[in-house]
Amino acid sequence: MLAYLIRRLWQMVPTLLGVVLLVFVLFKYFGGDPAEILGGLNATPEQIDAIRQQLGLNEPAWFQFWIFIKSIATFDFGKSWATNEAVSNLFATRLPATLTVMLPILILDVLLALPIAMWVAYRRGSLTDRTIMVVTTVALSISFLVYIIVGQYVFGFLLGWFPVQGWTDSTWKNLVTYAPLPVLLAVMVGVSPQTRLYRSFFLDELGQDYVRTARAKGLTENKVLFKHVMRNAMIPIITNIGLALPSVFIGSFLIETFFSIPGLGREVLLAVNRSDYPVIQAITVYLAMLTMVINLVTDVMYKAIDPRVVLK
């Protein structure tokens, strides 16, 4: 196991370097001139040159790339060009708000989709199965933006159950007051694709020979489903959860924008709109590193779930 972890960590280095180089090239040569964007339409050439000098954009490309590498190695991405706020402070202050909303969404998606998917897979072809599949298909066909607009109008304005917008410095107050409505709407959308996907995983396992053998030995349906089928289906389910985890730490643009949640998702959107390159570059590299680490953790969990898995 230790040799596998060391090998995987070593393999991350060239992958990360490739991501860093790609990000630098894209922002350096295809992102427009930040000095002109920050200076505005009325800026004089002298003012634009001064901004370029201040940001270090007049340095050779290799020197700028070296500065970028050093910022990643030291976790110091400098300051936002638009707000002059340290990027590290931006992460520290925006990430808690994102996690307050996104973690409950992921947990509820999994906890609700798993039992529903197993139930409809076990009752494949029944009226219940067909009804749930139709409902999930309809739910998937509607844009999340529609859910947000209708949900805010119905639950916020008509019924008055939840505040439509707002956020405080208290995590508990945010969790019980401002987060429930966006979490509810996101779960209404997210549980549908998860249910359909997990159902297919369970159906694949229910058709295997070991299920018929277990039933022939006289095992109860609960033991067949939860001890055998569930355990074998957890490998692709864990993979799917691993793919969804990076979004938990980066946030949702729609949720954070429409509910005025000061999280990373909204910050990314603001940074893109104002061409705040240090923030965009930092979040891009951060997301790449996070994805690689989550993929490694997911691979290790395969071994914990199924001892037959061999890590090479």
- pTM for the full predicted model: 0.77
What integer pLDDT is reported at residue 306 of this predicted model?
Answer: 65
pLDDT grade, residue 311 (50/70/90)?
A: low
Return the amino acid letter for 35: A
pLDDT 10s digits, 31-84: 666 666 666 667 677 777 777 777 677 777 777 778 777 777 777 777 777 777
Q: Domains in the chain, please, with CATH? A: 87-305 (1.10.3720.10)
pLDDT grade, residue 6 (50/70/90)?
A: confident
Using CA atoms, how far apart are residues 281 and 271, in angstroms rounded to an integer? 10
Who wins on pLDDT, 185 or 228?
185
Residue from 282, 297, 299, 281 nearest 26 by CA: 281
Mean pLDDT of the chain: 79
What integer pLDDT is reported at residue 39 of this predicted model?
Answer: 65
7 is written with which tokens? 């090998």
Residue from 116, 185, 178, 179 nearest 154 by CA: 185
Above pLDDT 70, what percent of the chain? 90
What integer pLDDT is reported at residue 82 of this predicted model?
Answer: 74
Using CA atoms, how far apart are residues 95 and 303, in angstroms rounded to an integer? 31
Residues 6+ apart with CB under 8 A from 23: 281, 284, 285
Using CA atoms, how far apart are residues 300 and 47, in angstroms rounded to an integer? 54
* 202 pLDDT above the threshold of 80: yes
pLDDT 10s digits, 73-115: 777 777 777 777 888 788 888 888 888 888 888 888 888 888 8
pLDDT 10s digits, 178-190: 888 888 888 888 8
CB count within 10 Å of CB 219 equals: 15
* 304 pLDDT above the threshold of 80: no
Residue from 307, 218, 291, 205 nearest 250 by CA: 291
Mean pLDDT of the 249-257 span = 77
pLDDT grade, residue 18 (50/70/90)?
A: confident
pLDDT grade, residue 309 (50/70/90)?
A: low
